[in-house]
Amino acid sequence: LTVKKGTNFPLELLVELERGGRRSLRSQLEDALREAVRLGRISAGERLPATRALAADLGVSRRMVVDAYAQLLAEGYLVARGGAGTYVADGAAVAPSAPAAQEPARPLAFDFFPGFPDLASFPRRDWLRALREVLREAPLASLGYPDTRGAPELRRALAGHLRRLRGVSADPQAIVVCSGFAQALMLLARALGGGALSGNALGSSAPGGADAGCHLALEDPGLPPHRAILAAHGARLSFIPVDERGAAVEELGAIAARAGRIDGALVTPAHQSPTGVALAAERRTALLEWAAQDGGLVLEDDYDAEYRYDRQPLAALQGLAPDRVVYLGTVSKTLAPALRLGWMVLPPRLVDAVAEQAFLAGSTLPTLDQLTLARLLDGGGYDRHLRQARRRYRARRDALVRAVAEHLPGARVTGVAAGLHAIVALGRAVDAQSLVRAAREHGVGVYPLGYAFASPRAEHEGLVLGYANLSEPAIAEGIRRLARALTEV
Amino acid sequence: LTVKKGTNFPLELLVELERGGRRSLRSQLEDALREAVRLGRISAGERLPATRALAADLGVSRRMVVDAYAQLLAEGYLVARGGAGTYVADGAAVAPSAPAAQEPARPLAFDFFPGFPDLASFPRRDWLRALREVLREAPLASLGYPDTRGAPELRRALAGHLRRLRGVSADPQAIVVCSGFAQALMLLARALGGGALSGNALGSSAPGGADAGCHLALEDPGLPPHRAILAAHGARLSFIPVDERGAAVEELGAIAARAGRIDGALVTPAHQSPTGVALAAERRTALLEWAAQDGGLVLEDDYDAEYRYDRQPLAALQGLAPDRVVYLGTVSKTLAPALRLGWMVLPPRLVDAVAEQAFLAGSTLPTLDQLTLARLLDGGGYDRHLRQARRRYRARRDALVRAVAEHLPGARVTGVAAGLHAIVALGRAVDAQSLVRAAREHGVGVYPLGYAFASPRAEHEGLVLGYANLSEPAIAEGIRRLARALTEV
């Protein structure tokens, strides 16, 4: 960013935004505006250009200019005069240069968002190299419309990978590639709602697809967006309580009796989302027995099973009952959510119905990305990345456990045998909204467990803290600040 | 592909598939099987391995092995003995090596599929270079979960591009990036069905989203998948007839009266899909007047408007009524369908409802792809590619017109002022199915116009022929063969 010299210059000439750099355009814009006011380059009482005009001149969105003006209004650099526009505030010029700390810390310095792997270690070079090979060798047909079920090369590579890593019984023909777990939920809700379970998905589904509606049992707590997505696509929902042995699947019979019928149970056996407990052995068995007896489907969300630290992972449930289990995974926790690639391993009778819904939703995936991932899987780069990540995350998990012991003496950490997040039980219920706000003031992002319940709890002692995307020192400092924030709640 | 030496060797040792090469695994597999039988490496009467076992050993899908066996059964290399397995046929060994022409020509040598640009000229190098820059410079946050509306960088780049190229009035905040036209249709059907038009999309939409259902008017003929997608997501459909001046939009009032209400009209003003006519000037005006008076929405499918050969293109309708028109485009006809990137420019009141549906459908797009396209747009590579493509396609169009004049004397070519396909009226109605089959025998893929009607017509004189993905000599030879096929129908 440079601010050109001159006084009372048109504002758009004072702002030069650096595209594609490390800093967001908005923060560059706000800095430039502040500096222009501070240094008197636009004078006190001078009217600022209309947001639309400035946005057009700068080639940024109007929303960004509106937000930047609002920010500087709040900060006192600018004043609004009714409907008459925005002006430079009296006294704002030649103000002492404000230190950075006084500006509101919008991007959180210590964000314990549970959904991220370590974004900095995304294997940019490997990805680029794999794409280069794909572009050199891929046949022309791979530039046409993709296979609705996913590129055959990727389905084959995934079948081998999932067999080796997770004991999944995976025929490439039973795999449907999708953009992630959310899309998988939509496709399944619609396919099951259209009668796929009774084997007549293509013939009898009503126009509208999801009109019939399926009924699914979900773990409680779970992730609210998943509930919203399923409900939006016609699924009715019941809930399975979760305790320290995982989902209480022995209640599925009673739940089904109340609901009339349950088409499937969505579970996270390896590492319950979000509580982090593993499904107990006898419950794994009970779940598959329920599926066999009641004819229900198990939707096995294996979202972070690549990471287990203290003992060998159990294989996926799917390997024990491939005709009764839909296995679900993504690269969001292994490579990056931005790639938007995931997969379903389906009982063969469901493949056509799910693929039909993918077609009807226009949800085929970019072929080059799929072939690139297939190369990474086949060439060993993916496994190598996982091995490195596992070491890194174990150290970060340990750092979190240490930091909580040091800074939050009454608190207890659970759910850390696997995955990328921990549950921190604070030892006393706190008001979620106040804590989130107080932590944010200290630059810390925290995620209350109370929000994850089907009936959200405003007060709860639990926090869901992701540690994979923070360095060990950042984890320590983040927990230290969280402890300080807690004294204010 | 190599076939290892030896006689009566286990079949899996005779087959070595070359991955990622130019030839499909299936055709390699079939060749290897044929050769093993021909050369006596597996003997007459010998039983072939079970498909599942061979598939596992070769690391290919069982489906592929089943298909390959079926192919060789049909060809007589193999025989089936009831449920007892598949055997090498007597007399198949040491058969004279069959020339390639005797094998069924599965991949069409002359495929006039209308949906493709020239896949061979996809700018692989430019794409790779742009991605390299993206990977070098993109901030970490761009590896996290993408913005549901699309990467801001891409929306900004698209806004500029669409403004310059198509006169689209595009605020980046009004753009939602999507995977293509099919996904856009799903999102719009659901958003409009949820009450977005009446301005209460977020508040009042019923669980299920599309339950309320919208009513859209579509051009007839049009593309059958579009009708299926809209219907699957709750839209009711009416049809606007198409004549030589485009869609008869003056009938929209009557159509709306019959339907009770019409929320929108989906049209292809620049180059009607598939007839290729342009919407006449007075109908453009009438369409916008209908939208203004009836409060309906115009969905402007600008699918191939980058290509106009004989005169300056008209700007998009959207620029005249951005509050009433949804503008839709993709890179499928400019770069490659495999990229799965498209866009909607929406009236501001629709943005939130469409973005909400994108969230509920898990249909966010890969960020790296979006940023790569943004680079290509900003850096001029996209425009350069379009200029080259325009020259290439004009020459191919001319080759098609010449070839039809030479080989199909009674036929008439229309719809070729723009786009990537032509309508060839043969001068007599032919049975679509017979013609497709006969043409396929000659290695030619043709697409009957009769299939594009809401009530498909088995007999029709029209063919929809795409010419962009065939060289000029291939176009000439394809039409010559089509003429021969026509003598057999």
Q: Are B19 and A341 within 8 A, CB to CB?
A: no
Task: Answer yes or no: do A337 and B120 touch at CB < 8 A.
Answer: no
Give the residue from A179, A301, A351 with the most B CB atoms within 10 Å of its CB, the best one to mutate: A179
Give contacts of A155 with chain B, Cβ < 8 Å.
61
pLDDT confidence band for B283 (50 / 70 / 90): very high
Give contacts of B20 with chain A, Cβ < 8 Å: 133, 137-138, 153, 375
Residue whose C-alpha is closest to residue B445's, from B429, B409, B421: B421
Best interface-test mutation with A: which of B64, B128, B340 has the largest number of A CBs within 10 A?
Answer: B340
pLDDT band per the 50, 70, 90 thresholds, residue A206: very low
Mean pLDDT of the region B57-84: 79
Least confident window among A55-59, A338-342, A417-421, B367-371: A55-59
Report which of residues B301 and B18 the model is more confident about: B301
**pLDDT for the residue numbered A39:** 67
DSSP 8-state symbol, B16? B
Looking at A236-240, B16-20, B162-166, B261-265, which range is the least confident one?
Answer: B16-20
Asked if pLDDT for residue A183 goes beyond 50, the answer is yes
Nearest to A366 among B172, B232, B338 (CB): B338
A135 contacts on B by Cβ (under 8 Å): 124, 127-128
Hey, of A127, A363, A420, which one would you mutate to test binding to chain B, going by the most B CBs within 10 A of its CB? A363
Chain segment A292-331, per-residue pLDDT in tens: 999 999 999 999 988 999 877 788 999 999 999 999 999 9
**pLDDT (tens digit per residue) in A127-140:** 999 999 999 999 99
A44-48, A200-204, A395-399, B110-114: segment of lowest average pLDDT: A200-204
- Pick B97 or A478 by higher pLDDT: A478
What SS3 string covers chain A? Answer: CCCCCCCCCCHHHHCCCCCCCCCCHHHHHHHHHHHHHHCCCCCCCCECCCHHHHHHHHCCCHHHHHHHHHHHHHHCCEEECHHHCEEECCCCCCCCCCCHHHCCCCCCCEECCCCCCCHHHCCHHHHHHHHHHHHHHCCHHHHCCCCCCCCHHHHHHHHHHHHHHHCCCCCHHHEEEECCHHHHHHHHHHHHHCCHHHCCHHHHCCCCCCCCCCEEEEEECCCHHHHHHHHHCCCEEEEEEEECCEECHHHHHHHHHHHCCCCEEEECCCCCCCCCCCCCHHHHHHHHHHHHHHCCEEEEECCCCCCECCCCCCCCHHHHCCCCEEEEEECCCCCCHHHCCEEEECCHHHHHHHHHHHHHCCCCCCHHHHHHHHHHHHCCHHHHHHHHHHHHHHHHHHHHHHHHHHHCCCCEEECCCECCEEEEEEEEEEEHHHHHHHHHHCCEECEEHHHHCCCCCCEEEEEEEECCCCCHHHHHHHHHHHHHHHCCC
Q: Which of B61, B146, B155 sits opposite A156 (nearest CB)?
A: B61
Chain B residues near residue A369 by CB distance under 8 angstroms: 366, 368-369
Q: How far is A245 from chain B (nearest CA, A)?
A: 30
Q: According to the model, what pLDDT value does residue B54 have?
A: 86
Nearest to A337 among B144, B153, B171 (CB): B144
Q: Over pLDDT 70: what percentage of chain B?
A: 87
Highest mean predicted confidence (pLDDT) among B92-96, B197-201, B480-484: B480-484
Contact A210 B207 (CB under 8 A): no
Question: Testing the interface with A: which of B112, B179, B328 to mutate, by most A Cβ within 10 A?
Answer: B179
Point out the residue among A19, A361, A378 whose CB comes nearest to the CB of B186.
A361
Q: Are B362 and A183 inside 8 Å of each other by CB?
A: yes
Q: Do the chains contact at A336 and B143, CB–CB below 8 Å?
A: yes
Contact across the interface for A209 and B228, Cβ inside 8 Å:
no
pLDDT of residue A81: 79
Is 60 exceeded by the pLDDT of residue B7?
no
Mean pLDDT of chain A: 88
pLDDT average, residue stretch A137-159: 95
**Listed range (A154-168, A331-345, A422-436, B84-98) with the worst mean pLDDT:** B84-98
Helix A124-137 × helix B124-137 angle, to 10°? 180
Band the pLDDT of B218: cuts 50, 70, 90.
Answer: very high
Does the distance separating the beta carbons of B339 and A180 come in below 8 Å?
no
Does residue B182 contact residue B224 with C-beta atoms inside 8 Å?
A: no
Judged by CB atoms closer than 8 Å, whether chains meet at A120 and B140 is answered as yes
What is the structure's pLDDT at A67? Answer: 85
Set of chain B residues whose Cβ sits within 8 Å of the Cβ of A182: 359, 361-362
Of A128, A145, A225, Cβ closest to residue B131: A128
Tell me which residue has tokens 């966010």: B364
Owner of token pair 């959904």: A115
Torsion of CA A72, A78, A81, A87, to 10 degrees: -130
Overall average pLDDT of the B304-313 stretch: 85
Residue in chain B nearest A157 by alpha carbon:
B59
pLDDT at A100: 34
- Alpha-carbon distance A312 to nearest alpha carbon in chain B (angstroms): 26
pLDDT class for A5, splitting at 50, 70, 90? very low
Q: What is the pLDDT of residues A348-368, one digit of tens each?
A: 999 999 999 999 999 999 999
Residue B381: pLDDT band with limits 50, 70, 90: very high
Give me the residue from A185, A228, A362 closest to B182, CB to CB: A362
For the segment B329-342, the average pLDDT, to the nearest whole number, is 98
Dump pLDDT digits (tens) for A362-390: 999 999 999 999 999 999 999 999 999 99
Give the pLDDT band of residue B196 (cuts 50, 70, 90): low
Return the pLDDT at B19: 75
Chain B positions in Cβ-Cβ contact with residue A362 (cut-off 8 Å): 178-186, 229, 363
Chain B residues near residue A185 by CB distance under 8 angstroms: 362
Partners of residue A351 in chain B, C-beta under 8 Å: none
Which residue from A173, A208, A231 is facing B232, i.e. has the nearest CB?
Answer: A208
Question: Considering chain B, what is the average pLDDT of its residues?
Answer: 88
Contact A234 B208 (CB under 8 A): yes
Least confident of A204-213, A223-232, A387-396, A420-429: A204-213
pLDDT band (50, 70, 90) for residue A45: confident
- Per-residue model confidence as pLDDT tens digits over B435-447: 999 999 999 999 9
Whether A200 has a pLDDT exceeding 90, the answer reads: no
Residue pLDDT, tens place only, B407-427:
999 999 999 999 999 999 999
pLDDT grade for B79, boundaries at 50, 70 and 90: confident
**Whether the complex's predicted ipTM surpasses the cut of 0.85:** no
Residue with the larger pLDDT of the pair B53 and B263: B263
Q: What is the pLDDT of residue B40?
A: 67
Contact A146 B336 (CB under 8 A): no
Q: Which chain B positions have a beta carbon within 8 Å of A153's beta carbon?
A: 19-20
Q: Which residues of chain A does B228 touch, with a Cβ-Cβ cutoff of 8 Å?
A: 360
Give A172's contacts in chain B (Cβ within 8 Å).
60-61
Instruction: Evaluate if residue A91 carries a pLDDT over 70.
Output: no
User: Do the chains contact at A145 and B209, CB–CB below 8 Å?
Assistant: no
Q: What is the mean pLDDT of residues A234-262?
A: 96
Give pLDDT, residue A201: 34
- Residue partners of B450: CB distance under 8 A and separation at least 6: B432, B456, B457, B458, B459, B460, B462
- Asked if A143 lies within 8 A of B341 by C-beta distance, the reply is no
pLDDT (tens digit per residue) in B234-258: 999 999 999 999 999 999 999 999 9
Question: Is the pLDDT assigned to residue A94 strictly greater than 70?
Answer: no
